[in-house]
Amino acid sequence: MANPKILSTKKLHPALAAAARQHFELAEADAIAIEIIRTAEKETELKAWLQKPNLDAAFTSAHAAEALLPFVTDQTLGWNLFCLEGKTRETLVQPRLQPIGTIRETAADASALAEAIIRRKVERLVFFCGDRRRDELPQLLKAAGITVDEAIVYRTVEIPVRCHEPPDGLLFFSPSAVHSFFSSNSLQARTVCFALGATTAATLASATPNRIVTAAAPTQQAMLDAVTHYFDQTNNNK
């Protein structure tokens, strides 16, 4: 077949997008937008958290970590951090956030992260998250007797992307992007959906009967590798 037509529901890193275009036709359009909450009340709340030493804290989104940046000082807090792999971990280890604490556990998805936190025998944890966070992490922790304090630090806004020309493949990086896309589109049977992780794949499965391929790791590179591998295999089997 000719080079497959791929639509990413998130703008990719420019260097990765340029490399991907050597293998397939790539279009990009953000299906969601993130708004960090910047109210006076939220600032007071975050400053209060960032004065508490030795907390156990969970992050399932890089946006939640980024929301803390304006309020981090040089004071070493000694937090125990639990986060998803990929972009979330990369954000937490950047120098400006290192005074907060040390990453103790990472996982590929929220359910696996909850299991790791439970194994650590954590008693109380603050979960920095968005207004549309998934239920898996807090529900599993609460079921294990762990007290969860939620700090909602950003909002997710849907930007429905109208897909006029049916693509061969679609890239989804979050459940919110899935909801946004399918609010205004349906797919032809031949379109393959690629998911960043298990949670996004599960959301896709509830939205479409189309084939779903989950990336080997929660990174943009892994997503693009999955696309290349899938269509290379498809071509070789013809």
pLDDT of 166: 87
Domain count across the chain: 2
pLDDT of 1: 54
147 and 51 housed in the same domain = yes
CATH assignment at residue 18: 3.40.50.10090
Q: Are 61 and 132 in contact (CB under 8 A)?
A: no
Inter-axis angle of helices 198-207 and 175-182, to 10 degrees?
20
93 and 22 housed in the same domain = no
139 and 222 housed in the same domain = no
Record the pTM: 0.86
140 and 197 housed in the same domain = no
30-66 b/e (C-beta count within 10 Å ≥ 16 → b): ebbebebbeeeebeebbeebbeeeebbbbbbbbbbbb
pLDDT of 224: 96
17 and 55 housed in the same domain = no
End position of a domain, from candidates 111, 127, 155 = 155
End position of a domain, from candidates 126, 155, 184 = 155
Residue 21 is part of which domain span? 5-31+159-236
| Helix, strand, or coil (residue 8) | strand
pLDDT of 53: 96
End position of a domain, from candidates 155, 188, 209 = 155
Measured between alpha carbons, how far is 164 from 42 in angstroms, rounded to an integer? Answer: 40
Q: Strand pairing partners for 150?
A: 127
Q: Strand pairing partners for 84?
A: 107
21 and 125 housed in the same domain = no
10-residue averages of pLDDT along the chain (238 residues)? 88 95 93 96 96 97 95 95 94 95 94 96 97 94 98 94 88 94 92 93 95 94 95 76
100 and 115 housed in the same domain = yes
